[in-house]
Structure 1
């Protein structure tokens, strides 16, 4: 497997990328995944119009900070002017790559004529791409689906138009919008996009194991792959898959102590970034996935009970102690000190 991927003038150190995911790839998650070896972790989906208005929660989604080898800010919207304005803000904040969302299937997004709804209005999608490419000097990429439904697979045509407009790379989730996340991703259909353009094509959808990664790359002919839901509770997955693809080995998982240290680091970073109690609230979904994905306890029913119990705890100290006891049989930990931990985050201004 070739190491690295070129998108415009940006060299990415690997070919296993992490997708932008709302509520998942916030700054604490991105910093952690990057420290664990991920070469590319995009921000949450950022609404360009709300970013321009300075809405606090949207600004926070675009936050950048230390510890990131690469900053990829994904924008969503249906207005070319607003998307261009958002792209300028993203570039000013330090984005290395600006990604455009033409793939989100959520009803609240498509209902506003954004996300994968743009697959139904390719002329509007092209107006957005043209406006953003002209507005910034950074490489622009696009994440899309195969089409709106099975009767309108137009990803290859839209990718050709994107390339003509100066877009530097496209990611294709191998499903239509109508499928949402049902069925299976069609990696063979992504091959049609790869054959249509000379810019890099990234395959996305249903990739969790090393075997799936190898098959997705082989069937699509893609230059790289992108992980989505597979990273829930496994922020190390991109780095570990990268190694497995390079040396042909099996995917390795962290042991108890390594996994525990990762979870505690994530919890503490979330508390710093959001403050308390919001930081713990934002972290609970991750905590649930960490417990579900771990092989301890061996009984799935015990894991479910532990998840329910730990996700009701009220302080980070209680979570740390309970998780340490669950996985390692130890309850003593060092002091949890949010106030004195280094502040390495900054928001888009």
Structure 2
């Protein structure tokens, strides 16, 4: 790299239900990133999916997204030899829209699920986080669990249904769930995060209602048994040789860690580090790294567990673009493990460049 500050584009917002979480994450990163090391640009994506250059997350939080006439609407030019951004109205962008790395802070569909990553790969762009495969596996709870099961990682019992299964015979679906899972159980859209669309069902009527809610958000629904245990999370950082943080414990104010509890800073609390014997901590860290590697994640992930009163560990899920808000578990766990917030951002950027450089060494044709 030349002797100049790399240009990092912070991308936030998006079309998913985690739009506001993304903006808050971006605000924290934007305020903490080391300006002596990086030139920082921003791209905000509104709920319609339109991209705008130079909008600031803090201003979006206070005033909302600007209209197309108040900001530069842009697009990514898919030229693997010289990727850059271009204003749709032809107006100039700083440095002709050129940049060195994208830092996506887009949670949920169309940001965390591999779709954005595929676009960036087509353009030959360095970026922070997992690639197409790791992102898509990390988003789809059904396929994620299939990979975890293949690696013999301990999971709760679960059933996967399609929306069409429910529409064509809800009673048959209810019977299967009652036979294989029982009550209480959790009903989740397979491809959403931050507890959006998730319900806990204690009986048949609640289960039917929960399936209807989940089917609003996804064509695929995962139903899991309830594990009685402590909710534990571990942060992972790295590419080929990842490291795991100390574990943290979620103390939910409700029956489970709802969307509101995660991001409102009201009620639920975090206990960092979680009090465990050293052997349990080691097992959690080892299992977090195995889960990270199982889905071929890169850069960062948060891995969620349950630990029963007998200290049995059950793997719940992995999040390949976890929240970065001021109360988010991912950066707080690394801070407790000795990596301050700004340094964590530095490391993630370095890992993005590292992964890009490694990929440039791969041939995709014989010519």
With normalisation by structure 2, the TM-score equals 0.28
More helix by share: 1
Is the radius of gyration larger for structure 1 or structure 2? 2
More strand by share: 2
With normalisation by structure 1, the TM-score equals 0.29
